[in-house]
Amino acid sequence: MITIEGEPGIQVWIKDITERKQAEEALEESEARLKSIFEASPLGIGLIQDRKMQWHNGNVSRMLRYGPDELLGKNARMLYESDEEFELVGEVISSLGPEKRTADIETRWVRKDGSIFDCHIRYALLNPESKDSAVLAMVEDITEQKKAEKEREKLRAQFNQAQKMEAIGVLAGGVAHDFNNILTSIIGNAELALMDMDKNTSHYNRLEEIRKAGHRAAALTRQLLAFSRKELIRPEVLDLNRVAMNLEKMLRRLIGEDIELVTAYAPDLWQVEADPAQIEQIIMNLSVNARDAMPKGGKLTIETANVVLDEAYFQKHGLESEEGPYVMLAVTDNGTGIDKETQDRIFEPFFTTKEMGRGTGLGLSTVYGIVKQNKGHIWVYSEEGKGTTFKVYFPQADAEPKEKEEEKSPEHSLAGSETILIAEDDGALRKMAEMMLEGYGYKVITAENGKEAMKIAESHDAPIHLLVTDVVMPGMSGRALAEKLQEKVPKLKVLYMSGYTDNAIAHHGVLKKDADFIQKPFTRERLASKVREMLDRKQG
């Protein structure tokens, strides 16, 4: 109280706070605007101080599946899988300061229900000058992104593997082709030399060993050709059940008494179109592989089934989609199993985990090549210590299988007097084939390429009864030569020979069904037998 002119009064101080009120309102408006922005953000945004959640937007609650206020005041440790991960993130936050105000990290958060998700977090220091400054955390759920990255990496690895297998196949096919030419010369000349030699001499025995070694090498090149999909195949519509059943007796001897053979053949199995000899080789090779995985005995199961492969299957295995009905052939063992690293390389030629001298490394690569050549797919499933399953899928064929006619052995002599034109660009092979056939009495004329063969045929007065031609020659292929000669001599018979077929045939894996073919390397008797068979065959 104060006295003014003898009268009591009140002293009042008035201060204009308009600016303060305006500032407070502006701050509230700014905070509301900022909160609105934070709530509208697609990111989870939270304010952390002293490792506790002081505030967060709705996205954080939704990401972690907590109620709106359940996380407030809680220690951030509850968001992490382990103490180590929590401390690692803490070290990143502690490194922030005046010179480094933000940091990014990828980690994993744990939701209220215990599920885990991948997240990317950017931490921003609000007050770089304060040691106890709050940190703003901006969180993005990157779980789907991580899954997509893993899927891309998986597809990239599968694509690289497919490219590698294709490159190895091209190399293997080229090596096998060239090697077959060499083997043809080795085996053929050894046979010619043996004809003129006394069997009781040491030189005869040495030449016989050379001939046998040549045939063993030829067996290896056939496997390389199968892997590279350049082996000649003669597909026919067949019943996989019947092929497998016919092999059972042999398989039981092959795997031994300590391994039980179990079969589960599907009734009403669909037909497939494939080379029956190659199907037998698939079953044999997979069975041998299974046997070797069970050194102490076990169970080998061969199973067939009708299946329909959908797009999901092809996406899962990184293959071009070829949806539709397939026939499955599965070979399962309960042996040692195969680790992931080995599975990635298991179909490569010459790759083997067996000790030296116990395998060539061509068994499974041959299976792979045969399956691909017959337009099929193969996949391996394995667990270490539990066993392995190889599943092979062949497309369903439309037609019914034909009953196979029994081959009759020729009763006639292999000799003859007909005229044969040989077209072969390899001089040593050309000379050897000429000597082989002349030894049986044939009149033989030779040409080193298609162009020369055409000239010889045009100038030759007497009829030419048979053309024996290499498929791949410089300038003109054997097939082109045959077609040109048959335009002038429609009844001319043609026998193709090669380490593998020409480019088109190698690409598709087949010759025309009526084409006659002899695979290099061949023996003197094999060549003469094929030639005699063709010359005796009536023109259709």
DSSP labels, 126-186: S-TT-TT--EEEEEEE-HHHHHHHHHHHHHHHHHHHHHHHHHHHHHHHHHHHHHHHHHHHH
283-315: b (≥16 Cβ within 10 Å) or e: bbbbbbbbbbbbeeebebbbbbbebebeeebee
Strand partners for 108: 118
Find where tokens 């922030």 sit: 96
Residue spans per domain, the chain: 18-141, 151-227, 237-395, 419-536
∠ CA 409-412-414, rounded to 5°: 95
Find where tokens 């494939």 sit: 274
Q: pTM of the entire structure?
A: 0.45
Q: Is the dihedral of CA 339, 342, 347, 351 positive or negative?
A: negative
Question: What's the CA gap between 414 and 408, in Å, rounded?
Answer: 15
Q: What is the DSSP letter of 113?
A: T
pLDDT of residue 405: 46
Q: What is the CATH number of domain 18-141?
A: 3.30.450.20
Spans in the chain with pLDDT lower than 50: 229, 356-360, 404-411, 501-510
Say if strands 236-238 and 116-125 run parallel, antiparallel, or are unpaired: unpaired
CATH class of 419-536: alpha beta
pLDDT of residue 501: 42
120-149: b (≥16 Cβ within 10 Å) or e: bbebebeeeeeeeebbbbbbbbeeeebeee
Q: Where are the beta strands (DSSP E) in 338-465?
A: 377-383, 387-395, 419-423, 443-447
- φ, ψ at 72 (rounded to 5°): -60, 130
Q: Please state, in angstroms and as integers, the Cα–Cα distance from residue 426 to each residue in 338, 420, 472, following that order.
A: 45, 17, 11
- φ, ψ at 345 (rounded to 5°): -120, 5
pLDDT of residue 80: 92
Report which of 251, 339, 342 is spatially closest to residue 290, judged by C-alpha positions.
251
pLDDT of residue 316: 72
Question: What's the CA gap between 376 and 98, in Å, rounded?
Answer: 64
Question: What's the CA gap between 533 and 527, in Å, rounded?
Answer: 10
pLDDT of residue 35: 73
Find where tokens 């893993």 sit: 150
Instruction: Reduce the DSSP state of residue 108 to 3 states and report it.
Output: strand
The continuous run of DSSP H or E covering 330 comes out as strand 324-333
Report which of 530, 477, 523, 482 is spatially closest to residue 500, judged by C-alpha positions.
477
Report which of 324, 306, 326, 308 is spatially closest to residue 265, judged by C-alpha positions.
306
Instruction: Reduce the DSSP state of residue 495 to 3 states and report it.
Output: strand
Report which of 184, 94, 96, 106 is spatially closest to residue 145, judged by C-alpha positions.
106
- List, for residues 40-76, the tens digit of each pLDDT value: 788 999 999 888 999 899 899 999 999 988 999 999 9
The contacts of residue 259 (CB under 8 Å, 6+ apart) are 291, 294, 297, 298, 299, 300
Q: Residue 351, by phi and psi: left (phi above 0), alpha (psi -120 to 50) or beta?
A: beta
Q: Do residues 496 and 511 lie in contact, with contact meaning Cβ atoms separated by under 8 Å?
A: yes
∠ CA 113-117-120, rounded to 5°: 135
| Assigned CATH topology for domain 237-395 | Heat Shock Protein 90 (3.30.565)
